[in-house]
Chains A and B, each alone.
Chain A
Amino acid sequence: MIAVPRDDLLRLSASALADALSAGEVSSVEITQAYLDRIAAVDGAVHAFLHVDTAGALAQAAEVDRRRAVGAAVHALAGVPIAVKDIVATRGMPTTAGSRLLEGWVPPYDATVAARLRTAGLPMLGKTNMDEFAMGSSTEHSAYGPTHNPWDLERIPGGSGGGSAAAVAAFEAPFAIGTDTGGSIRQPGAVTGTVGVKPTYGGVSRYGLVALASSLDQAGPVARTVLDAALLHELIGGHDPMDSTSIAGSPPPVVEAARRADVRGMRIGVVRELGGEGYQPGVRARFDEAVALLVGAGADVVEVSCPHFDYAFAAYYLILPSEASSNLARFDAMRYGLRVWPEHDQAASAEEVMLATREAGFGDEAKRRIILGTYALSSGYYDAYYGSAQKVRTLIARDFARAYEQADVLVSPTAPTTAFRLGDKLDDPIAMYLNDIATIPANLAGVPGLSVPSGLADEDSLPAGFQVLAPAECDDRLYRVGAALEAMLHEQWGGPLLDRAPALVGMSAC
């Protein structure tokens, strides 16, 4: 066995690790242990993980090594460890969704995504931090404290999936599972210099994802390279009979597209409404350069207009809270999770316990959205709010359809700014919500989106993201464009963007 140095193990892509494993150059136990050691060394500062399953991960790794040793057929990614957002139900492993309400809850079942990871033999390192029930863009709404951005520990890692993005950016995991309801995979990807993909709605099973907004939620890959994201996407995607909204047809050929990495003859549509006012100049500059690179590689660029995108934000903040208010009703202290008795009342009724528990268990942001959604669905307001929002949704889908007549993919900056400082927007919900202004339309229309690093903004030397959007079930186009751009940028930078991130060992939390 040719030993691979441990530091290199951490720096290798998931794809390279898979190759090394299959060539017998390294064992899954070695890789998994290296990542567990890295987590032990830096997660005190980053706080990407809510739960680390050292014994479980090593046992899974040993099992894969054993199977490989006896020549059993294994999945190409078998033995490559992974981190999983804490919104994914994992049998026998705590699942809190970042909420006090689920503190200590150990699901008796696996989400389909988790089951596919286990079946393929990917050791699960642990569960990653997130805004409570995925409500937020900074992980500051986690009941267990925020995650810190590995590029600057005083800054947010994005959200809600800041834990998964930070874990991957800090080399605490080769890749991770995220979920994206309005940008929770892509925006953290942008501000941490990682790759994040929200697949087509229905492309990856939602069975076992603690639901935020059922018509918007979608699980997807978080990775350091576009190819790694594609490999993970392929593994977790495809039809699931347990999810009625799962797409029955054959999944798009994402891995092939990522390997092809070719944009010649592709029509790239720059969305006029995503990128003007409110976008940080440095973010804008990296975006323009990226578009120029794609043109240089043989793509045609057109400008497209999606006029109803201006209403996406308003529609989203009616639909999401409405569905969330209903989805979160089940946290009532009756069957699982937190149970709080009203003070000085041991004879409290079920309803009183329910009330006290929800009062104590939900954080401010969750309460804010439950109140908004309850109001928006109320009789007499339904048509004006939820009903109108659904109409806007239809108009946005039409905007996309029209834009895709002119372009094969649409592009924009992923987020309007780089990572802001922890606490900066905590008291201004609207400012916080605006982080997702460019990512929300894809969720409303159910189309897939990818964020790939576009470089560091000049003002603050922090990562910016480049978003690619494609028609529903054409996720492969995301990977063609993303991989082509990534290759050109790596060449320009002389390596991955994350090579420029500060080393974390020895640093402590702020």
Chain B
Amino acid sequence: MLTPLPTYEDALARFEPVIGLEVHVELGTASKMFCGCATKFGAEPNTQVCPTCLGLPGSLPVLNGAAVESAIRIGLALGCSIADWCRFARKNYFYPDMPKNFQTSQYDEPIAFDGSVDVAVPSAESGGELVRVGIERAHMEEDTGKSLHVGGATGRIHGASHSLVDYNRAGIPLIEIVTTPVIGAGARAPEVARAYVGQLRELLLALGVSDVRMEQGSLRCDANVSIRPRSSAVLGTRTETKNVNSLRSIERAVRHEIRRQAGVLLAGGTVVQETRHWHEDTGVTTSGRVKSDAEDYRYFPEPDLVPVAPEREWVDRLRGTLPEPPHVRRGRLQQEWGCSENEMRDIVGAGALGLVELTVAAGASPQAARKWWLTELARRAKEDGLGLAELPVTPAQVAGVQALVDVGRVNDTLARQILDGVLAGEGEPEEVVAARGLEVVSDDAALGDAVDRAITANPDVVDKIRAGKVAAAGALIGAVMKEMRGQADAGRVRELVLARLS
């Protein structure tokens, strides 16, 4: 690009972004969508294949009932209606890693449709807000094989000398979840995108239908972005950005794409409808396949499969297996924790509800758990540009640190240093304590010597305390703590000071 990109603020001043997200989830079923092959990740290439998933002549698909069950549960959890009757369709296009040169998918009859989720979008200023994201549909399909391009610069097909195809992935059950266009998020559109996928990830995890590992591709997100002049009611031309493999990348990619499109329009150009690739390293998207409306998949109902007609009783039974709905869970936890409405909103807004819950479950008090995640860890996440859940610390570790505080082995200052160690990958809290020598000194003899030295060194403060100004004791405590390099129990120090001066 020759002209520099406009700043994000400039882009937003002129244009309104509209986003839409397509998420592909690989289900964690034991076997593939249409055959009995195993679905284990990382197996030797082409060892989990059979005539059906290789598309050999004459082979036929048989639908995996467990995959349908997962699809229905996902649909229900997203507030969707479940189709009484729906069919698979063939999506016809040629690609070397697609065994049949058509993908067995669903077209105009998705298993689930018309739902919504309330997404908690974290915000430093307002403590977060809930944004409703509409779910247009969730449908079942099969994954393709995986091409490995050899000899090129970056593993891309361009410049490669040859390609290898692994069909282990071909036929793995996928659920594609498509949002309606998200309009009106304004400058927060990238954060909404990220928060939506993050929340979807948690939901899928809670449903137990997928391991949702973005880095392994079991959750893949395509971000559709368009912008329109603030005065316009007509949606702009959209691009579809692929290869977005982390929550952080989603936010960055959407933000970049808004700026890029604004740059194109401000320079008098037009946005091309196309697939774009996100580059994690350089933080830009580049043009992929031009995806005009003329691209024709020649969908037609899959004649090799019979329609899927889930009985109402079955759907109702599956509804009973769903995790607690978010609003019910929030109310229950608020009551259990004795939090105020505002405190709860902060927790939810920070995307910390699950983390706090798990920390409490690991033994910390609700107040302590909330304090760690919303202050110290929130600050660390912000510094590192990560989501709270992405920090390399587990709720159990946070609870472990708090337990050391509770028994008086460390104070808050030391506890923060322990978390530093955990975040730096130095191991469990106890290991950090041992390695860094962070335990507080509660030995009265050692403390007593320090207290005596502080009293001797500060006769004027001693006089004030003796005159009844107990608050002045803070100066002596501070002096002791300084001498002990923070490794003292401040409460015990205070007791010792007051005892000596009474």
Are A and B genuine complex partners?
yes
B296-317 CB mask vs A (1 if < 8 Å, else 0) is: 1011100111100000000000
Residue contact A334 to B165, C-beta cutoff 8 Å: yes
Residue contact A330 to B101, C-beta cutoff 8 Å: yes
* Contacts of A321-373 to chain B: CB distance below 8 A: 322-323, 325-326, 329-332, 334-336, 350-351, 354
Residue contact B57 to A107, C-beta cutoff 8 Å: yes
Q: Does A386 sit within 8 A of B, measured CB to CB?
A: yes
Stretch with Cβ within 8 A of A (4 or more), from B58-66, B357-365, B400-408, B423-431 = B58-66
The answer to whether A322 and B60 touch (CB under 8 A), given A330-B100, A335-B54, A335-B55, is no
* Contacts of A185-240 to chain B: CB distance below 8 A: 206-211, 213-215
The answer to whether A109 and B96 touch (CB under 8 A), given A329-B101, A378-B296, is no
The answer to whether A332 and B298 touch (CB under 8 A), given A244-B304, A326-B90, is no
Q: Does A279 sit within 8 A of B, measured CB to CB?
A: no
Residue contact B57 to A330, C-beta cutoff 8 Å: yes
Of chain B, the residue at the smallest CB distance from A87 is B58
Residue contact A379 to B55, C-beta cutoff 8 Å: no
Residue contact B96 to A354, C-beta cutoff 8 Å: yes
Residue contact A326 to B92, C-beta cutoff 8 Å: yes
Q: How large is the interface on B (under 10, 10 to 19, 20 to 34, 35 or more residues)?
A: 20 to 34
Q: Does A497 sit within 8 A of B, measured CB to CB?
A: no
Of chain B, the residue at the smallest CB distance from A354 is B94
Q: Which residues of A contact B94 (CB under 8 A)?
A: 329, 332, 351, 354
Q: Which residues of A contact B299 (CB under 8 A)?
A: 377, 382
Residue contact A326 to B56, C-beta cutoff 8 Å: no
Q: Does B51 sit within 8 A of A, measured CB to CB?
A: yes
Residue contact B163 to A350, C-beta cutoff 8 Å: yes
Residue contact B303 to A214, C-beta cutoff 8 Å: yes
Q: Does A89 sit within 8 A of B, measured CB to CB?
A: yes
The answer to whether A330 and B58 touch (CB under 8 A), given A244-B305, A245-B304, A335-B99, is no
Residue contact B58 to A107, C-beta cutoff 8 Å: yes
Residue contact A244 to B60, C-beta cutoff 8 Å: yes
Q: Please indicate which of the listed interface residues A214, A245, A334, A351 has the most CB atoms of chain B within 10 Å of its own CB.
A: A334
Q: Does A44 sit within 8 A of B, measured CB to CB?
A: no
Q: Which residues of A contact B296 (CB under 8 A)?
A: 378-379
Residue contact B51 to A332, C-beta cutoff 8 Å: no
* Contacts of B30-55 to chain A: CB distance below 8 A: 51, 54-55
Residue contact B300 to A326, C-beta cutoff 8 Å: yes
The answer to whether A108 and B62 touch (CB under 8 A), given A214-B304, A326-B298, is no
Q: Which residues of B contact A241 (CB under 8 A)?
A: 62
| Complex CA distance for A439 and B337, rounded to whole angstroms | 75
Q: Is the interface of B mostly helix, strand, loop or mixed?
A: loop
Residue contact B100 to A242, C-beta cutoff 8 Å: no
The answer to whether A210 and B61 touch (CB under 8 A), given A109-B51, A329-B101, A379-B298, is no
Of chain B, the residue at the smallest CB distance from A379 is B296
Q: Does A97 sit within 8 A of B, measured CB to CB?
A: yes
B93-125 CB mask vs A (1 if < 8 Å, else 0) is: 010100111100000000000000000000000
* Contacts of A92-125 to chain B: CB distance below 8 A: 95, 97, 102, 105, 107-109, 111
Q: Which residues of B contact A89 (CB under 8 A)?
A: 51, 56-58
Q: Which residues of B contact A209 (CB under 8 A)?
A: 58
| Complex CA distance for A213 and B303, rounded to whole angstroms | 9
Q: Which residues of B contact A334 (CB under 8 A)?
A: 96, 165
Q: Select which of A97, A351, A378 is within 8 A of B57 by beta carbon.
A: A97
Q: Please indicate which of the listed interface residues B60, B100, B306 has the most CB atoms of chain A within 10 Å of its own CB.
A: B60
| Complex CA distance for A214 and B301, rounded to whole angstroms | 11
| Complex CA distance for A242 and B35, rounded to whole angstroms | 9
B58-100 CB mask vs A (1 if < 8 Å, else 0) is: 1111110000000000000000000000000010101010011
Chain B nearest CB: distance from A113 CB in Å? 10
| Complex CA distance for A354 and B99, rounded to whole angstroms | 13
Q: Which residues of B contact A379 (CB under 8 A)?
A: 296, 298
Q: Which residues of A contact B304 (CB under 8 A)?
A: 211, 214, 244-245
Q: Does A374 sit within 8 A of B, measured CB to CB?
A: yes
Q: Does A243 sit within 8 A of B, measured CB to CB?
A: yes
Q: Which residues of A contact B102 (CB under 8 A)?
A: 326, 329
Residue contact A111 to B58, C-beta cutoff 8 Å: yes
Chain A nearest CB: distance from B64 CB in Å? 11
Residue contact A330 to B99, C-beta cutoff 8 Å: yes
Q: Which residues of A contact B61 (CB under 8 A)?
A: 244
Q: Please indicate which of the listed interface residues B59, B90, B305 has the most CB atoms of chain A within 10 Å of its own CB.
A: B59
| Complex CA distance for A335 and B306, rounded to whole angstroms | 28
Q: Which residues of B contact A350 (CB under 8 A)?
A: 96, 163
Chain A nearest CB: distance from B378 CB in Å? 49
The answer to whether A109 and B298 touch (CB under 8 A), given A244-B306, A330-B100, is no
Of chain B, the residue at the smallest CB distance from A202 is B306
Q: Which residues of B contact A97 (CB under 8 A)?
A: 57
Of chain B, the residue at the smallest CB distance from A353 is B96
Q: Which residues of B contact A208 (CB under 8 A)?
A: 58-59
Chain A nearest CB: distance from B46 CB in Å? 10
Chain B nearest CB: distance from A226 CB in Å? 28
Q: Select which of B55, B60, B90, B300 is within 8 A of A243 by beta carbon.
A: B60
Q: Select which of A107, A108, A207, A377 is within 8 A of B60 by beta carbon.
A: A207
| Complex CA distance for A88 and B58, rounded to whole angstroms | 8
Residue contact A107 to B100, C-beta cutoff 8 Å: no
The answer to whether A210 and B60 touch (CB under 8 A), given A326-B102, A329-B92, is no
* Contacts of B162-177 to chain A: CB distance below 8 A: 163, 165
| Complex CA distance for A88 and B304, rounded to whole angstroms | 17
Residue contact A242 to B62, C-beta cutoff 8 Å: yes
Residue contact A109 to B56, C-beta cutoff 8 Å: yes
Chain A nearest CB: distance from B328 CB in Å? 39
The answer to whether A107 and B298 touch (CB under 8 A), given A329-B102, A330-B99, A332-B94, is no
- 12 additional A-B pairs beyond A334-B96, A374-B298, A379-B296, beta carbons within 8 Å, are A89-B51, A89-B58, A108-B51, A208-B59, A243-B60, A244-B63, A325-B298, A326-B102, A330-B101, A331-B57, A377-B298, A377-B299
Between-chain CB contacts (< 8 Å), 6 pairs: A108-B51, A109-B51, A329-B92, A329-B94, A351-B96, A378-B298
**Those 7 A-B pairs whose CB atoms lie nearest each other, nearest first:** A329-B101, A377-B298, A214-B303, A215-B303, A208-B58, A350-B96, A89-B58
